[in-house]
Amino acid sequence: MPRHPEAAPHTPLRNALSATLVALACLLTPCGALAAWATFGLADTGRYVSTVAPLATDPAVRDAVAAAVSDEVVRELNLAPEPEPEPEANPIPDPDPDPDPDPATVAAHPTLAPFVHDAIRSFTRTEAFRTAWEAGNRAVHDAVLHALRDDTAPRGPVTVDLAPVIAQVRHHLVADRMPFADRIPVEHTEVAVVPAGELAGLRKGYHVLDTAAFWLPLTAVVLAVTGIAVAACRRRALTATGLGTALGGALLALAVALGRRLTLADLPERLHRPAAAAVYDALTATLRTAAWLLLALGLTVALASWLTTRRPHRPQPLAHPTPSPTPTPVDAPAPSPRTGV
């Protein structure tokens, strides 16, 4: 069938438009996956807690928690004031009072540090620690999420009260008959989890991700479908879309791996890097799965489109010309007997 004489001049324009739309769609696909992961994965308290809950049994996380809590407990024990003795009837004045005691005497119980660390480390293997771990993470996540979503929240750092967690630790140490465990103060300790100076930027970033999580994937799908529809060769455009999607998934997986390396490199203490690596891997597990799914889906679509293009076409049988019917001879009329003709 001959082509329309006006179709050829529009083919380069259609191909250029198709290539542009497909490239934009492939670029927005990993960005949309990242925004959706941050909004529907990290910003959901239930999913966040269910993600970090198994970390309570991770040895690196338990060691990091035990080290941090034991240091804080020992500090509280060292700074806790000794009980004042009852006043004597005739006190003898000190001839040389020392208004500034030696700092070494402030640490009244330096030998308790190993015992406190062992006790808290054993506490991290109990069901009570797993309960406290989930409760602490839920409290921190709720406080941060409330500060990010509520624009009318009071200005200042985002804080969380760790008194319930400290109370559970103290109860366990007292049950283990740890010396001076009953002197651990259980007060409403407000711990800042987000500085006040970073809250405004994080709030704007959260609103941007919340909007992008819906519009970026939708825009990527519309651009891909439109780019394939306007292409002069739709199979070739479909193959390019699949390859671009696979490339976006590979770049997303590479970005996750690079982010892990940079995050661990920025930690000041090397001892906490295994625990930070476990937390990072748990939080980005869904994002890594999405990256591999994009890679597999894109390669599958591209391979299927290429195979259908390379499928051999069966030659159609040539149409044989139909032989024209042989004309039937017409007999000449017999001569008339009268005329002899």
pLDDT digits (tens, 9 = 90+) for 290-321: 999 999 999 999 999 888 876 555 555 555 55
**H or E element, residue 192:** strand 190-194
Looking at residue 251, what is its pLDDT? 95
Q: What pLDDT is attached to residue 178?
A: 66
pTM: 0.71
pLDDT value, residue 292: 96
Quick: pLDDT tens for 117-157.
787 788 788 777 888 888 888 888 888 888 888 777 666 67
Q: What is the pLDDT of residue 117?
A: 76
**How buried is 37 (Cβ within 10 angstroms: 0-12 exposed, 13-18 middle, 19+ buried)?**
buried
pLDDT at 1: 44
What CA–CA distance (Å, rounded) separates 70 from 165?
13
Count CB-CB contacts under 10 A for residue 257: 13
Reduced to 3 states (helix: H, G, I; strand: E, B; else coil), residue 115 is helix
What pLDDT was estimated at residue 108? 44
3 phi and psi angles, rounded to 5 deg: -75, 155
Question: Contact, 18 vs 227, CB < 8 A?
Answer: yes
Q: How confident is the model at residue 175, as a pLDDT?
A: 75
CA distance 255 to 250: 9
pLDDT of residue 77: 66
Q: Which residues of the chain have pLDDT under 50?
A: 1-7, 81-84, 89, 94-108
